[in-house]
Amino acid sequence: MDESEIFRALADPTRRAVLERLLTGERNATELREGMSVSQPAISQHIAVLRGAGLITEQRVGRHVRYAVNPEGLQPIVDWLTRYRAFWPARIERLKTHLKDMDQ
Amino acid sequence: MDESEIFRALADPTRRAVLERLLTGERNATELREGMSVSQPAISQHIAVLRGAGLITEQRVGRHVRYAVNPEGLQPIVDWLTRYRAFWPARIERLKTHLKDMDQ
DNA sequence: CAAACAAATAAGTCTATGCTTATCTGTTGG
DNA sequence: CCAACAGATAAGCATAGACTTATTTGTTTG
């Protein structure tokens, strides 16, 4: 329900990069950090923000933690955006195409 | 193209309130401020952020400035969100309903 | 033209955020 | 069991953000 927290979490490019990496499958913190030029604590803190915003879930597996996108996490802002649907004249066709793709 | 700037602009509840007020029609700065407990400069600064993010447009009319939602402004983050469509199992039906409503 | 008005800008303050290094907690494998 | 590892937490710093009051810019109207 707290859109502010979600938007704030998404406002940081490093956190969006983490999320997008999770789109291709679950990862642990070390894997999420690969190729990024930030310290281990920095990633850990970003992960905490994403988790606080409900955007990711975590599951401890041994001494690793597997992170994954939380499917429900983005819903509040998707809902928020649908209020602006009357202002999406140009994109509406593309969105419909996406939805048709999903039907198949 | 700069999603960070858009997400950051939307992260503030006062700015979202301004945007939502504009959903019901164009307003000037004084009208946008009505009912909000912030100073005139604060609203002016919020408007500047929204405009910088491409979310609103402005048109000077005499000594007033009429602000309006920029229809194209939210597209970058709508596009960004569609990358997560595979993770929207629960919301997809609602979204389809919205789109059907638009067809009529 | 002067007073009133709409909005922006300036400048200062306070808090939040993102980063670092150092340290701590928990887990595993030799 | 202990050394190495995965990750979180602590503490400190620098910058960004949201707000205020005071002032400025531009426009209108009596």
Q: For the residues of chain A, what is the DSSP string, one character each?
A: --HHHHHHHHTSHHHHHHHHHHHTS-B-HHHHHTT--S-HHHHHHHHHHHHHTTSEEEEEETTEEEEEE-TTTTHHHHHHHHTTGGG-TTTHHHHHHHHHHHH-
N-term to C-term CA, chain B: 32
Rg (CA), chain B: 16
Would you say A50 and A56 are in contact if contact means Cβ atoms under 8 Å apart? yes
Question: pLDDT grade, residue A85 (50/70/90)?
Answer: confident
Distance CA A71, CA A55 (A): 8
Higher pLDDT, A96 or B50: B50
Q: Residues of A near B (CB-CB distance < 8 A)?
A: 3-4, 7-8, 10-13, 16, 20, 23, 69, 71-72, 74-75, 77-92, 94-96, 98-99, 102
- CA dist list (Å): B80 to A29, A78, B30, B83, B100: 23, 11, 33, 6, 22
For the CA of B41 and the C1' of D23, the distance in angstroms is 12
Across chain A, what does the average pLDDT equal?
87
Does position A90 have pLDDT exceeding 70, yes or no?
A: no
Distance CA A41, CA A31 (A): 14
Nucleotides of C under 7 A from a protein CB: 5-11, 17-22, 26-29
Residues of A with Cβ-Cβ distance to B71 under 8 angstroms: 87-90
Q: What's the confidence (pLDDT) of residue B64?
A: 96
Determine the residue of chain A that is closest to B4 in CA distance.
Answer: A11
Q: What's the confidence (pLDDT) of residue B104?
A: 43
**Structural domains in chain B?**
3-103 (1.10.10.10)
Distance CA A17, CA A23 (A): 10
Q: Strand D: list protein residues with Cβ under 7 Å.
A: A 28-31, 40-41, 44-45, 47-48, 58, 63-65; B 8, 11-12, 14, 37-42, 45-46, 49, 60, 62-63
Higher pLDDT, A32 or A96: A32
- Residue percentage of chain B with pLDDT more than 70: 83
pLDDT, tens only, B56-103: 999 999 999 999 999 889 989 988 998 887 776 555 555 555 545 544
Question: pLDDT grade, residue B50 (50/70/90)?
Answer: very high
Does position A72 have pLDDT exceeding 70, yes or no?
A: yes
Q: For the residues of B51-103, what is the DSSP string, one character each?
A: HHTTSEEEEEETTEEEEEE-TTTTHHHHHHHHTTGGG-TTTHHHHHHHHHHHH
Distance CA A100, CA A19 (A): 25
Q: What's the confidence (pLDDT) of residue A104?
A: 43
Question: pLDDT grade, residue B1 (50/70/90)?
Answer: low
